[in-house]
Structure 1
Amino acid sequence: MSTANDETRLFISRILRDLTGLKPGIAFVGQIKAGKSRLINGFTGQAEFLPSDVNPWTTVITDMHFGHPSERVKGAEFHFFDNQQWQALIAEGEELRNMFPDDEDSYKREMIEEQVEAMKTRAQLRLGRSYSELLGQSHDLDVLTEGDLERYVCAGDDPADLAEGETPTDRGLYSDITRKAEVYFELGHFPFPLTVTDTPGVNDPLLIREEISRQYLKEADFFVVVLSAHQALSRADLKLFRLMQALELGQIVVFINRVDELGQGAEDADKVRADVQDGLTKALGDASVDVLMGSAQWAHYALTGDESGVDHNRVLAWLRAHPPLLKQYLEGVEEMKKGPGPVSREGALRLAAMIASGLPELRAHVTRSLADGPRREHLQIAWQHLNGFAQGEVERSEARLRVLKDETPDQAEPDERNETLASLRSMIAEKSAEITQELDDQFAMLRGVLDDTVAEMVTAGVRNPDGTSPLLARGNATELDFTALREQMRKLILDATQIARQQVLNGLYAIDMQSNAALQTLPGWNESADSRMNTSAIRWFRPDTTALTRGITVELRISWLSRLFSRSSFVTRAETLITQEFEMIGDDLVDTARTDLQDRIDTVLEHHLALLAGHLEHVDAEGDETTCARSEAQRAFDRARKIADELDAVFRPDRAIDIQPEAAE
């Protein structure tokens, strides 16, 4: 905003930088051979980008950026593992497995370690001396070719299996050390910038792929869980859903793929959907997960014209069985008739296949959910801050016009305005320090309460009232249930942050009152709505409790017989170790809440100070009432009014977001 002062411009730049970072991510997850890659191709409109043949991908997470904030629209970056990242992969996997252990987990760590070593060995054979130099590095390609994909992310042949004298190909040259691929595209079908991520499949015989998929769950904002209509909601699928629920990952939609392969079409599909919904309800309790259905194969035909495996009668039967889709198809045909020339049979069939595929519906569902989801809060806060500046600029520009056209009351001198601003800065710094001290006291008290609660409830979990312990039960493994402790810790953090939030709001209210009282002493001051402090970032604050989903990884592998000889010391040691781990979780809860709330306080106060500086900015109003001055002032007012109107149109809180699925590609 060209009329803003330096302080205001700095804060606006920060808001815009934060908005640039709000690039939502959508991860497609699911078992191997569920048709995930072809589904992503249809979802993004990149018909044949991800190979869908057998086992083309290795351990690579592939991020497809659409409308990236950098404005990059082509090429790719490939990031390579380093030794520390490989080790972290093993350690973090142990933590996730401990959350929902099963009979197979006992050997998985060893197998994953072996597979990581095998990856390193293959990479050393392929890359030779350059292997160690590439670790932790990345390659940035301006243009991406199919051959590049084969080199960086496709499996390739194992060099150890080559016959003597046989020359290896470039396929898979870097694949074993490639950790993540980032590929760039134009915005395409999507209404805002986002990233679509293809993950290695879960329930994969190559466990390292499954491990990478599970660990990536914490990175995305929205998840499309892909199931196959032939084997919907298997044991592996249910385990994945329970893990996602425990990690509090938020927005999830299920897409049942391959309905084109069901013998009775829509009739069988309805049964599959009902079974999946019933299974999810039983497994996840009251969790509500939307279930969509369709066919990536039909979308592939719609995008490419490749009729292999497509039965057009089944496509049309699917549309007839779903009246909303049939209506959308008929409307699409009518739109096609308005174009030049007759509607071709192929064009109509490809339109029908795209609508029947369910991909436009999935795309609309995901983008609408993202727009209405948690990130809306960030957008609303940004809107309120930017709108405050814009409305203030409108009022200042309007006042400038009045100065040029009419006689006005005496204005405050620049020195007086500067003194007022300096005084306000000093007052805000002093009050801010008081708020921070109260915040520290509140969270220090919370830390103590959490430690006491942990000590008491861990003891109750480890020692029975009669003095015995479940840890001394006969058997090789004992599972202790600390669900009640986690829930109590969650309640404590929520209650404490509610008190802290109110204390902060009280302190900010006092700053607001003093600020406006100081402004009212200035000659010619007229209070406006945007001069009041915007505290929505504090009022909407909720603490992050994901630390509570962490598993406890205490090492207690001692035989039952050994425990009999040292009952007391064994139980005491277990109690101490478990207490320490829960105390670390409590520390993470407190530190995260304290940091997040302080960041929001800083944002509110920086915004308020920038607004005050804008109001106190010196306006040269000594009476140059020339036509040129009036024109300049009118242009400034018109520009400010336009910015305010545009912000209101895009971000106003009551704006309805309506994203309709496309009729065709």
Structure 2
Amino acid sequence: MSETSRRELIRIAEDMNETSNDETRQFISRIVGDLSGLKPSIAFVGQIKAGKSRLINGFTGQAEYLPSDVNPWTTVITDMHFGHPSGRTEGAEFHFFDNHQWQALIAEGEELRNMFPDEEDSYKREMIEEQVEAMKTRARLRLGDSYEQLLGQHHDLEDLNSDDLARYVCAGDDPSDSETHDPGSDRGLYSDITRKAEVYFDIGHFPFPLTVTDTPGVNDPLLIREEISRQYLKESDFFVVVLSAHQALSRADLKLFRLMQALELGQIVVFINRVDELGGGAEDAGKVRSDVLDGLEQALGNSDIDVLMGSAQWAHYALTGDETGVNHDDVLAWLRAHPEQMKQYLDGVEEIKQGPGPISREGVLRFAAMIASGLPDLRRHVTQALADGPRSEQLRMAWQHLNSFAQGELERSQAELRALESEDGSATVDLDENNKTLGELRALVAEKTEVMTRDMDDVLANLRGVMDDTVAEAVSAVVRGPDGNSPLLAKGAETELNFTPLRDRMRELIQGATQVVRQRMLSELYAIDMQANAALRALPGWQDPVDNRMNTSAVRWFRPDTTALTRGITVELRVNWLSRLISRKSVVTRAERMIVQEFELIGDDLIDTARENMMERLKTVLDHYVALLGGYLEHRTGSGETNAQAEAQDAFDRARRIADELETVFGPVRADEGQAKAAE
């Protein structure tokens, strides 16, 4: 669905809210809020000096907006909001660290490092702590007495220029270095305490609102920058991993990919930048791309990550006219080697020729450079993936709920109009009977909710016991080793214990238990649906709506979040400290106890998260259904009998209009949706 469809759904929902009952209005307001805030995010990640900032400038069309010199950034995540739900299109907000957030940064980083450790990780925490203290010291020197007052605060600038940006996100001179520091410069004034920058733009050339995020580079000598980037990974919906054509898929790159895979993140695309700097042009670039694909396959298994290529430098020239470092023969050679891009270029030139103004050589060259840069292809790839992914599913679900309300209102108003038109009035709606029925149905829903909750808690309580037994048995087998020969007592500087089978078994257990809960919930929801429909049909003059089935999609498609299983177990990765213990037996016993405790905590997190998510989905299904029933049963009439029929006709006409508008947005209920309903 397009951005136009999203806006139209919001308009229709707000229109429906004007005459809805309280329960329906509450639910529709939630839909409006979800649709208004639907703003996927794209994070650009990768090593330092891979050209991320200049690439983002080309991707967003904001030439030279983000500084792209060798080392402009400090510990700053920069979110560029295009078409923000608030309606804001200019200015920026800068959020400052507080002491708690600095400490959380250190603690959370330790957890991520433990997932895929290397020989350098043993001293990284100490270095990061030192760097955080150095940041605080620099900030105190720069800010003086205002330092303490600024912690945890934020600055909101209505307008923003490059000098403003430099004050908050660029490193600047070290104020403790008298030889290099310029006391008159405010570059980097707030950079050491700036946690995050949010910059606002209009929607630009994107098809729907989104956020583009520039992250500090991984493999940065200043480890705190790398830590910021790694910890931000869970915050985005889509990732562009930027590789340099000169050193594509290095050890640091592979470690980043493994971490992203372990965290079960969203969609990923790889962009190999700086192909313009390869001596062999398209031929060398093709070899680099092939090597990257092979490397990803070997490192990640059945990887389906797309790999695109291009040049941020060419895009920079296309946007600014700055020809520095641009060889036009190389640009044209690249287009000739890539027929699809050549076709885009030729079609675009023909379109330019049809325009009102004269066509210039420079304009054609800059257009060629933009196509060859690969940025238009990257933009299409990312926005299409987002449109076809979670964004599309959210819009579809919103439409289904709104359509249920609309069809219910249409049927109700039609029945009311039919009753008023009857000569003997025998079909007149009994308001007291309707209210009584609605109250009984609400009580039924509350009763069944308690039953489903108790049943779920019983299943999950049993799962906790099974999970603990599984953990204890598996950890003991690994730590104590075959025939009682513990690998912890083997010679060598360090020992790695393999708990992958245990993690896989824990994943199977949580998936199996939640499947049982899900099926039992669906059975109870089906029972509610049947009893409610029977109660409605018993009402005098009741006529079934076209579609009054409960929408159980939120429960039916539930899958447990298993992110907790990617958490590292410190003892399983590093056991050098064990050598300091005296008793060999106590070494094994203590290690076993510690590892069991950590895996039990992981199991608790799995179960608690699953329960919370399932309850939220169950509430969504039942809130929607109760609101739908309220819409069916509520009887609204005018203040006088003489105009009751006219008002009923108006209500029917309005309901018909809204139903037709919804059908125009999404079309009639499709076959796959019908099959999904039948599957319930």
| 2:297 paired residue number | 281
The number of equivalent residue pairs is 654
Change (3 A) 1:350 1:397: farther
Aligned partner of residue 223 in structure 1, secondary structure: strand
Specify which of 499, 513, 523 is matched with residue 516 of structure 2: 499
| Mapped partners of 1:312, 1:174: distance in 2 | 41
Answer yes or no: is the 8 Å Cα contact 1:151–1:174 preserved in 2: yes
Answer yes or no: is the 8 Å Cα contact 2:405–2:628 preserved in 1: yes
| 2:7 paired residue number | none
Unpaired runs of 5+ in structure 2? Answer: 1-15, 674-680
| Mapped partners of 1:559, 1:341: distance in 2 | 75
Per-residue CA distance 1:618-663 (angstroms, 9 max, x = gap): 13389646895477346413532343224425997979xxxxxxxx
- 1:435 equivalent in alignment to 2:444: no
Change (3 A) 1:93 1:560: closer
| 2:3 paired residue number | none
Per-residue CA distance 1:575-616 (angstroms, 9 max, x = gap): 111000000000000000111001000110000000000000
Per-residue CA distance 1:260-279 (angstroms, 9 max, x = gap): 11222111111111111111
Answer yes or no: is the 8 Å Cα contact 2:92–2:157 preserved in 1: yes
Per-residue CA distance 1:370-421 (angstroms, 9 max, x = gap): 1222444333322211121122233334445545666575122111111111
- 1:569 equivalent in alignment to 2:586: yes
Answer yes or no: is the 8 Å Cα contact 2:403–2:659 preserved in 1: no
Q: Single out whichever of 83-92 and 173-182 deviates more from structure 2.
A: 83-92
- 1:71 equivalent in alignment to 2:87: yes
| Mapped partners of 1:332, 1:51: distance in 2 | 30
1:44, distance to aligned residue in structure 2 (A): 0.8
- 1:605 equivalent in alignment to 2:642: no
Aligned partner of residue 128 in structure 1, secondary structure: helix
| Mapped partners of 1:13, 1:350: distance in 2 | 47
Specify the code of the residue in structure 1 equivalent to 2:464: R
1:588-599 to 2 correspondences below 5 Å: 588-599=605-616
| 2:338 paired residue number | 322
- 1:180 equivalent in alignment to 2:191: no
| Mapped partners of 1:281, 1:429: distance in 2 | 51
| Mapped partners of 2:646, 2:405: distance in 1 | 26
Change (3 A) 1:288 1:32: same
Specify which of 271, 295, 302 is matched with residue 311 of structure 2: 295
Change (3 A) 1:63 1:530: same
| Mapped partners of 2:648, 2:551: distance in 1 | 33
Q: Single out whichever of 449-458 and 97-106 deviates more from structure 2.
A: 97-106
1:195, distance to aligned residue in structure 2 (A): 0.9
Answer yes or no: is the 8 Å Cα contact 1:259–1:295 preserved in 2: yes
Per-residue CA distance 1:493-517 (angstroms, 9 max, x = gap): 1111111100000010111111111
Answer yes or no: is the 8 Å Cα contact 1:64–1:183 preserved in 2: yes
Answer yes or no: is the 8 Å Cα contact 2:419–2:426 preserved in 1: no
- 1:482 equivalent in alignment to 2:475: no
What RMSD over aligned residues (CA atoms) do the two structures have, in Å? 2.2
Per-residue CA distance 1:132-168 (angstroms, 9 max, x = gap): 1111111111111211111111111111112599634
| 1:521 paired residue number | 538
Q: Single out whichever of 476-485 and 582-591 deviates more from structure 2.
A: 476-485
Change (3 A) 1:22 1:452: farther
1:111-510 to 2 correspondences below 5 Å: 111-162=127-178, 167-403=183-419, 407=423, 409-510=426-527
Answer yes or no: is the 8 Å Cα contact 2:39–2:209 preserved in 1: yes
Per-residue CA distance 1:313-365 (angstroms, 9 max, x = gap): 22122111111111111211222222213322222222211111111111111
Change (3 A) 1:351 1:602: same
| Mapped partners of 1:215, 1:427: distance in 2 | 45
Per-residue CA distance 1:262-305 (angstroms, 9 max, x = gap): 22211111111111111111111112110000111111112122
| Mapped partners of 1:206, 1:561: distance in 2 | 32
Specify which of 648, 655, 666 is matched with residue 637 of structure 1: 655
Per-residue CA distance 1:505-534 (angstroms, 9 max, x = gap): 001011111111110011221112432110
Change (3 A) 1:104 1:333: same
Answer yes or no: is the 8 Å Cα contact 1:379–1:651 preserved in 2: no
Answer yes or no: is the 8 Å Cα contact 2:637–2:644 preserved in 1: no
| Mapped partners of 2:647, 2:432: distance in 1 | 24
| 2:8 paired residue number | none
| Mapped partners of 1:466, 1:260: distance in 2 | 59
1:18, distance to aligned residue in structure 2 (A): 2.6
| Mapped partners of 1:261, 1:588: distance in 2 | 48
Give percent identity, aligned residues only.
Answer: 71
Change (3 A) 1:506 1:386: same
Answer yes or no: is the 8 Å Cα contact 1:200–1:212 preserved in 2: yes
Aligned partner of residue 95 in structure 2, secondary structure: strand
Change (3 A) 1:650 1:180: farther
Specify the code of the residue in structure 2 equivalent to 1:139: H
Specify the code of the residue in structure 2 equivalent to 1:153: V
Normalised by the length of structure 1, the TM-score is 0.94
Answer yes or no: is the 8 Å Cα contact 1:383–1:652 preserved in 2: no
| Mapped partners of 2:671, 2:264: distance in 1 | 26
Specify the code of the residue in structure 2 equivalent to 1:518: A
Change (3 A) 1:395 1:96: same
Answer yes or no: is the 8 Å Cα contact 2:271–2:310 preserved in 1: yes
Change (3 A) 1:560 1:526: closer
| Mapped partners of 1:167, 1:561: distance in 2 | 52
Normalised by the length of structure 2, the TM-score is 0.92
| Mapped partners of 2:252, 2:383: distance in 1 | 27
| 1:538 paired residue number | 555
Per-residue CA distance 1:430-472 (angstroms, 9 max, x = gap): 1111111111111111111111110110001100232221111
Aligned partner of residue 176 in structure 2, secondary structure: helix
Per-residue CA distance 1:477-507 (angstroms, 9 max, x = gap): 2111101100000111111111110000001
Per-residue CA distance 1:30-72 (angstroms, 9 max, x = gap): 1111111000011111111101112111110001111111111
Change (3 A) 1:327 1:446: same
Change (3 A) 1:382 1:118: same
| Mapped partners of 2:620, 2:577: distance in 1 | 55
- 1:10 equivalent in alignment to 2:26: yes
Per-residue CA distance 1:59-106 (angstroms, 9 max, x = gap): 100011111111111111111111111111111111111111111112
Change (3 A) 1:405 1:319: farther
